Amino acid sequence: MDKTRLPRPLSRSLWSQALLPGLHIKRWILLLLIGVTAAGLGLAFLIRDLYIARQLPDVVYWLALTFLPDWMRGVLLLAFGLGAAITSVFFLNSSIVKALLPGSAPLKNLEMVNAVLQRQSRRHGPKIVAIGGGTGMPQLLRGLRQYTDNITAVVTVADDGGSSGRLRRQMGMLPPGDFRNNIAALSEAEDLMTRLFQYRFADQEGGAGNGEAGALAGHSFGNLFIATMAAVTGSFESGIAESSRVLAVRGRVLPSTLEQLILCAEVSYTDETGHEQWAVVEGESNITHHPGRIERVYLMPDNARAFPATVQAILQADLIVAGPGSFFTSVMPNLLVPAIRNAIRAASAPRIYICNVATQPGETDGYTVSDHMHQLRLHTGDAFNVVLANNNFSPDDPASFTGEWVRLPTPDEMLDYRLFTGDLLEPAHPWRHDPQKLARRLMELYDDLRPHS
């Protein structure tokens, strides 16, 4: 892996960090030295001409140390000049650091240099397109933002439940929920933004259905913020872009399409007589609540036009990732947009599907890694041939959460995809990915799979 893309540890000295490649200050230090030297020579010529050609007061010659040999005068003046310059730079630096980062100056110097190095590394990091939605995508973005600022999160617009569904029906706008979560995950002040954006207005006593308290009940602040920005800027995509700018988001959050979509599913189930039946379920929020097994999902309309900026990001990406997240209701709706699917297949970047750690009740009950890949192939063809899956679990131990572990292929199973594994679990919440573990393993795969010149 290109080590200049990784954050620098604070254990290195200030100067060793400052001289590392990627900071882009050595060239300016060299130019500064050349400029100071040239200016000093010019000033010396002027002073020499004035000193020799004109009669100056005796005190000037005394300050010039004319009573000493020339070599000694040069050494003393050089030492005085360097000492004065170093002292002024030291105290100027201390004053600036204390003003910006109160505390111990040496430690803050290291922190500041390290922060600049990290920012420079992220600015030149790989262009990564992450496709998905739900709660899985923010976990991935939290890890990836430590490696690069060039992240494009492609989010589904098929959500029709909760606050997002109400805004979609009442205002005719695209559902903002997944955009809200991913904007918060990419924000510089993520903890604060997450608490703020996830805040939900509750019913006030006697206010439900009458005043503003009833109108806001159940809505999250983040959804209302995005809806307001969309209204102020004139379009949903402009509202998302301006929200990202205001909140100092590292990267972009883009929709897969700007069209109003309905996610539909063909579901098989056994009726009371024991016969197998099929049903079509419309609406993302209804799919997981229908009894039976999801056989196929599709969009209405099925020819939705992709958002042009999203297609461009996919074609220019260095790495394309799908998942993690609800397989049929968060990840798949993006891949069902024809131009998105075709752009992924045409892209030259490595394409990796991140398999969920756990199955989702009502959606992927009993699914293994190969079951996920079978459905992915059924819906998207050969868009993804590489899979990253978690291996930190014991197949004999039952899961401690609702659902089951997503099991790896058996040793004798013939695979038509490339499988990579790793410890990806978040210890406190073993049903989801750990952001740092996932991003680290993903960057290792990126380095292995990308073309090397």
Residue with the larger pLDDT of the pair 181 and 85: 181
Q: Predicted confidence band at 241 (pLDDT cuts at 50, 70, 90)?
A: very high
Residues sharing a CB contact under 8 Å with residue 328, sequence separation 6 or more, in sequence order:
265, 287, 294, 297, 363, 364, 375
Residues 81, 148, single domain; the answer is: no
Residues 180, 225, single domain; the answer is: yes
pLDDT digits (tens, 9 = 90+) for 25-68: 677 778 888 888 888 888 878 877 776 766 667 777 777 777 78
CATH number for 179: 3.40.50.10680
Residues 44, 191, single domain; the answer is: no
pLDDT digits (tens, 9 = 90+) for 253-263: 999 999 999 99
Mean pLDDT for the chain?
Answer: 84
Q: What percent of the chain has pLDDT over 90?
A: 49
Residue with the larger pLDDT of the pair 76 and 232: 232
Alpha-carbon gap, residue 86 to 312, rounded angstroms: 50
Residues 297, 433, single domain; the answer is: yes
Residues 383, 361, single domain; the answer is: yes
Domain stops at, among 56, 90, 122: 122
Q: Would you state the pLDDT for residue 217?
A: 77
Mean pLDDT (whole number) for 276-288:
91
Q: Predicted confidence band at 374 (pLDDT cuts at 50, 70, 90)?
A: very high
Residues sharing a CB contact under 8 Å with residue 5, sequence separation 6 or more, in sequence order:
121, 122, 124, 125, 126, 147, 148, 443
Alpha-carbon gap, residue 255 to 304, rounded angstroms: 12
Among the listed residues 446, 389, 440, 393, the one whose alpha carbon sits nearest the alpha carbon of residue 419: 389
Q: Would you state the pLDDT for residue 195?
A: 83
Number of domains composing the chain: 2
Domain stops at, among 122, 139, 171: 122
The domain in which residue 185 lies consists of 126-449
Residues 20, 166, single domain; the answer is: no
Q: 400 and 357 in contact (C-beta within 8 Å)? A: no
Residues 109, 134, single domain; the answer is: no
Examine the pLDDT at 14 and tell me if it is beyond 70: no
Continuous H helices in 187-305: 190-198, 212-216, 221-233, 236-246, 284-287
Cα 335-340-343 angle, rounded to 5 deg: 125
Residues 116, 136, single domain; the answer is: no
Residues 83, 156, single domain; the answer is: no
pLDDT digits (tens, 9 = 90+) for 157-210: 998 878 887 888 888 889 998 999 999 899 877 777 778 888 888 765 544 444
pLDDT digits (tens, 9 = 90+) for 103-119: 555 555 556 556 666 66
Q: Predicted confidence band at 22 (pLDDT cuts at 50, 70, 90)?
A: low
Element (H, E) at 262: strand 262-270
Residues 353, 223, single domain; the answer is: yes
Alpha-carbon gap, residue 259 to 253, rounded angstroms: 16
Q: Would you state the pLDDT for residue 425?
A: 94
Q: Would you state the pLDDT for residue 189?
A: 74
Domain stops at, among 100, 122, 144: 122
The dihedral built from the CA positions of residue 365, 371, 375 and 378, taken in this order, carries a sign that is negative
Cα distances (Å, whole numbers) of residue 436 to 139, 145, 405, 448: 9, 10, 20, 19
Residues 139, 9, single domain; the answer is: no
pLDDT digits (tens, 9 = 90+) for 125-142: 999 999 998 889 999 999
Q: What percent of the chain has pLDDT over 70?
A: 85
Residues 30, 59, single domain; the answer is: yes
Name the β-bridge partners of 320.
129, 351
Examine the pLDDT at 334 and tell me if it is beyond 60: yes
